[in-house]
């Protein structure tokens, strides 16, 4: 059995690298090579492609826009990206694989292995659910608030998300900690988490979300927990259960 593959990337060197690595997997046949998103979309709409290697950033249409425009008849997709802050949380959540540039033959082989799994009989509705979930997450990220409005006596204060150091749950309220000030909002921690940029904010405890740009150091604690020290001097706790989410942003912890 063989599968037809489309490679789309605006960097000729990356396309060459992908073609060379793909040639090491004879069950995959290169069917099309494109240098931008619009060209990739036109070719994919013609059909006959089972696997697409799509660059995230391309002229005219990016890889996500190509995927969105295809509708229900989408191929299996492996995204290629030069920067990991874009949507890795969405990729991980929905089992869509990605290649982070620069990638080696082993990492490419892992991605191709996952594609082979989908193509050898994973139910079509499972693939569609994963892709649709990815797109829903990306749309949500594009609709993040620019400011939070906070009522304070007879005034309304505005706080930009990037100004927040950390967020603390208090029942049906959350406290936004900004420098040395604390602002109370009538909102749950789960709802505020959905409104914060996952590239910057990570829940490190069931009652705590932290701006990772404010983390100064981590100190090993008991039973796999860590103490998190912020630039402000505030000490928070990273629970063992929440450690994987932080490692996605900061890398493996010792």
Extended beta strands in 87-222, E state: 98-100, 148-152, 155-159, 166-170, 173-178, 181-185, 201-205, 208-211, 215-220
Question: Is residue 131 predicted with pLDDT exceeding 70?
Answer: no
Mean predicted lDDT score pLDDT of the chain: 83
What is the value of pTM for the model shown?
0.52
Extended beta strands in 35-189, E state: 51-55, 76-81, 98-100, 148-152, 155-159, 166-170, 173-178, 181-185
* pLDDT confidence of residue 61: 80
Domains annotated for the chain, with CATH where assigned, are 3-142 (3.40.50.2300), 148-250 (2.40.50.1020)
Question: Is residue 90 predicted with pLDDT exceeding 60?
Answer: no
* pLDDT confidence of residue 95: 41
pLDDT per residue as tens digits for the range 49-71: 999 998 888 877 888 788 778 76
The answer to whether 230 and 204 are in contact (CB under 8 A) is no
- Return the closest-CA partner of residue 199 out of 149, 253, 137: 137
pLDDT per residue as tens digits for the range 98-109: 787 788 899 899
* pLDDT confidence of residue 93: 42
Q: How many CB atoms lie within 10 A of CB 49?
A: 19
* pLDDT confidence of residue 245: 82
Greater model confidence, 144 or 13 = 13
Reported as a pLDDT band with limits 50, 70 and 90, residue 158 is: confident
* pLDDT confidence of residue 33: 96
């Amino acid at each position: 059995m063989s599968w037809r593959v489309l490679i789309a990337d605006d960097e000729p060197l990356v396309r060459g690298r992908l073609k060379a690595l793909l040639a090491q997997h004879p069950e995959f046949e290169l069917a099309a090579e494109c240098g931008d998103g619009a060209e990739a979309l036109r070719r994919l709409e013609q059909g006959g492609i089972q696997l697409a290697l799509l660059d995230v950033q391309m002229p005219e249409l990016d890889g996500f826009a190509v995927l969105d425009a295809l509708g229900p008849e989408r191929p299996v997709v492996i995204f290629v990206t030069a920067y990991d802050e874009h949507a890795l949380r969405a990729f991980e959540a929905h089992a869509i694989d990605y290649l982070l540039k620069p990638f080696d033959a082993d990492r490419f082989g892992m991605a191709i292995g996952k594609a082979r799994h989908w193509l050898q009989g994973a139910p079509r509705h499972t693939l569609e659910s994963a892709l649709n979930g990815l797109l829903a997450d990306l749309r949500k990220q594009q609709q993040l608030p620019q400011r939070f409005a906070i009522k304070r006596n007879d005034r309304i204060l505005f706080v930009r998300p990037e100004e927040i150091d950390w967020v603390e749950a208090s029942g049906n309220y959350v406290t936004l900690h900004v420098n040395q000030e604390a602002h109370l909002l009538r909102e749950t921690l789960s709802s505020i988490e959905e409104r914060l940029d996952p590239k910057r904010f990570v829940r490190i405890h069931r009652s705590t979300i932290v701006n990772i740009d404010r983390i100064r150091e981590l100190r090993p604690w008991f039973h796999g927990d860590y103490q998190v020290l912020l630039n402000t001097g505030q000490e928070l706790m990273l629970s063992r259960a929440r450690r994987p989410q932080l490692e996605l942003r900061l890398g493996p912890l010792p």
